[in-house]
């Protein structure tokens, strides 16, 4: 009887952490897909010159960093309807990192065929995006790109 109780206890101790880890990995995989989809929606809004996505899905302190400099949320929202003509884009090589339960980092490669303010935009970019969870909603806090 003691042997059965010891075996049951040992199985419980070793199985529960494994299940918890599997559940955490599953939740992280779901969150990764959600964040990638949210980011793709941002690119589609940019392509369509639609500032609504940026109004609704960025923090008030949002910063965009590129070779053109640093822009805040107001500047990005104002420039989205007129700044660029995007013929096409693609996003690949995603890497997702949980920074903590309320912050994630998404990096990837973007290729684009775009003209911004009369100049051809770089065709290939390395991108880093920071999303934070505020009041239960994931919002973009920082976007950074480099050719």
Average pLDDT across each block of 10 residues of the chain; the chain has 147 residues. List them in order: 38 38 65 98 96 97 95 94 92 97 98 94 97 97 97
> SS3 of 80, please?
coil
With the C-alpha atoms ordered 43, 121, 71, 98, is the resulting torsion angle positive or negative? positive
> How are the residues of the chain apportioned to helix, strand and coil, as percentages rounded to the nearest 5?
40, 45, 15
CATH level 3 topology of 2-146: Nuclear Transport Factor 2; Chain: A, (3.10.450)
pTM: 0.80
Report domain extents, the chain. 2-146
Rounded (5°) CA angle 117-126-68: 30
- Give the pLDDT of residue 82: 86
- Give the pLDDT of residue 20: 36
């Amino acid at each position: 009887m003691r042997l059965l109780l010891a075996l049951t206890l040992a199985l419980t101790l070793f199985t529960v952490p494994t299940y918890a880890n599997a559940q955490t990995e599953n939740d992280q995989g779901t969150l990764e897909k959600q964040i990638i989809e949210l980011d793709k929606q941002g690119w589609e809004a940019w392509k369509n010159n639609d500032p609504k996505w940026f109004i609704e899905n960025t923090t008030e302190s949002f910063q965009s960093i590129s070779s053109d400099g640093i822009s805040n949320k107001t500047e990005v929202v104002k420039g989205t309807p007129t700044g660029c003509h995007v013929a096409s884009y693609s996003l690949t090589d995603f890497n997702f990192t949980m920074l903590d339960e309320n912050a994630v980092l998404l990096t990837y490669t973007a290729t684009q065929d775009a003209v911004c303010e009369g100049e051809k935009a770089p065709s290939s970019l390395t991108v880093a995006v920071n999303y934070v969870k505020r009041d239960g909603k994931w919002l973009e806090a920082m976007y950074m790109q480099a050719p």
